[in-house]
Chains A and B, each alone.
Chain A
Amino acid sequence: MINILATVLIATGILVLGFGVIGILRLPDFYTRMHAAGKTDSLGAVLVVLGFVLYNGQSLAPADLLVSLKILFIAVYIFIASPTATHAVMQTAIALGVKPWSKKEEKP
């Protein structure tokens, strides 16, 4: 039962990561690409890592629970650090004056 739940979590996370990769390939501008990269990367990674927490802690042995706690810490850390890194790069781009993409400039 827990195996099925963990598998569903991991599959959903990898699907979300795949959406992020599609976004980073297809979107027209640096800022829009950042929009795809920042959110999907944090959510997908956290989903996959939560699946690992469930899979690893199902035996309920104290050593396994400790390892699960460490994996949970990875999830918390990614959830805080990944948006922070995205904001830092975005702030650098704004400070250097990269222009956002707009539809009007596309027309000849």
Chain B
Amino acid sequence: MQTVMLAGVVAIVLLIFPTLYRMIAGPSVFDRIIGGNMIGTKATILLLFIGVLFENVSMFVDISLAYALLNFIGTLAAAKYFQHRPSETAGGGAADEEARP
């Protein structure tokens, strides 16, 4: 079972990097918000994997739960902030400008 957990950790970390690319290079600010949300969800799962690997799940499950709560609150706060300040979404309707190969 240790092998499964290690493979899971590697898979989750490998999945975080493309999401990080979308978060950094995303054309509009909403892509960045949703990229951060996805990374937060993956980090919640990653904490559970780490807890099983270190055989200390009872401690890591609390950290994971707190991370899930903070992730939700943070996404909602960012969405509300940009709803009230449209000028700060640097080229807000950036969906028009992006060029796709």
Real binding pair: yes
Chain A interface residues (CB < 8 Å from chain B): 3, 7, 10, 13-14, 17-18, 20-21, 24-25, 28-31, 33-34, 37, 41, 45, 48-49, 52, 55-56, 63, 67, 70-71, 73-74, 77-78, 81-82, 84-86, 88-89, 91-93, 95-101, 105
Whether B38 contacts A81 by the Cβ 8 Å rule is no
Q: Tally of A-B residue pairs with Cβ under 8 A?
A: 145
Q: How many residues of B contact A (CB 8 A)?
A: 51
Q: Which chain B residues lie closer than 8 Å to A55 at the CB level?
A: 1, 52
Q: Which of B19, B34, B52, B65 has the most CB of A within 10 A?
A: B34
Q: Which of A14, A20, A91 has the most CB of B within 10 A?
A: A14
5 A-B pairs besides A78-B41, A92-B83 with CB distance below 8 A are A74-B65, A81-B68, A88-B76, A88-B80, A91-B79
CB-based closest 8 A-B pairs: A85-B75, A81-B72, A88-B79, A92-B83, A92-B79, A89-B79, A70-B61, A14-B11
